[in-house]
Structure 1
């Protein structure tokens, strides 16, 4: 029973795992990365209130192909998909 308790305590300790995969199959680093991605993608801004120049800057940053030939509405649609 003592060995079982010690094993359970080691498994519950984050330092004892040393970055090994957890029961869900993801490492703690992978979970943190996934959490950061969710945080970054959560804030969606309204693209309809932006000017075409601002939309073009965002399209450039997103590396959207064909952005120089797009209308303002095309830029809004393309950026909302990313």
Structure 2
């Protein structure tokens, strides 16, 4: 069985920004993730791959880190728990 390609953090960060743009600049995590998965056309095996910790999926874990990195770079901000907004440049 061929191993499913897992996107890099750089690709995921760009996809988060693109998803937020498509969603009007502000959206909750489920909407961002759904849009990102559709845009990147991620296969089911990548989306459902369990994280090594067993506390969810690898994709969810990596996306949390990507949002944290984008926040640190000043590109997005946390409006309230689970909701993110693009920061105007």
Higher relative strand content:
2
Give the TM-score of the pair, scaled to structure 2.
0.26
Higher relative helix content:
1
Relative contact order higher in (CA < 8 Å, ≥ 6 apart)? 2
| Larger Rg over CA atoms | 1
Give the TM-score of the pair, scaled to structure 1.
0.27
